[in-house]
Amino acid sequence: MATLAVEEKHRFGSGGVAGLHAKTFAVDNARIFVGSFNFDQRSAHLNTEMGIVIDSTAIASQLGDFFDKTVPELAYEVRLAPDGVHLVWIERIPGGEERRYDHDPETDGWMRFKVDFLSILPIEWLL
């Protein structure tokens, strides 16, 4: 399996370039899943989704190491805030420091307004 070389710190997520995003995870350092399936009701019943399971301890271990060591430097960690209702985004800064945000740091006020407005729609069954 090829090793990912990271020249600069880039965040995963939305940006100026469209692309495919996959759901990828390792299970017990023995197998991995890669696919488009979202593990929700919409994907199970409405969308055409797919994925594959690869049974390989070598690939699963390498993927696990990548997520444990490299991804925290490239992506925000999202957690439930202490109030149990809101979210907090955590950025890992070189040197071990953390920066916390009370909203998605890569959105502006207009984007957050639109998301809040859409959240009033009765579409819970799709989530």
Q: Which residue has the tokens 């399971």?
A: 53
What pLDDT, on a 0 to 100 scale, did the predictor assign at position 54?
94
Q: Calculate mean pLDDT across residues 106-121.
A: 89
74, 76, 73: which is closest to 101 by C-alpha?
76
Name the token pair of 70: 């490299």
| Average pLDDT of every residue of the chain | 81
Name the token pair of 27: 């299970």
Distance CA 37, CA 73 (A): 26
Distance CA 26, CA 67 (A): 9
What pLDDT, on a 0 to 100 scale, did the predictor assign at position 3?
39
Q: Give the count of beta carbons closer than 10 Å to the beta carbon of residue 76.
A: 20
Contacts of 9-12 spanning 24+ positions with Cβ under 8 A:
9/73, 9/74, 10/74, 11/74, 11/75, 11/76, 11/106, 12/71, 12/74, 12/75
- Tell me, rounded to whole angstroms, the distance of Cα 91 from its chain centroid: 13
Higher pLDDT, 118 or 88: 88
Q: Calculate mean pLDDT across residues 104-112.
A: 92
Q: What does the pLDDT look like over 6-41, one tens digit per residue?
A: 444 455 555 555 455 778 888 888 999 998 877 777
What pLDDT, on a 0 to 100 scale, did the predictor assign at position 121?
85
pTM as predicted: 0.59
Residue 94 pLDDT exceeds 90: no
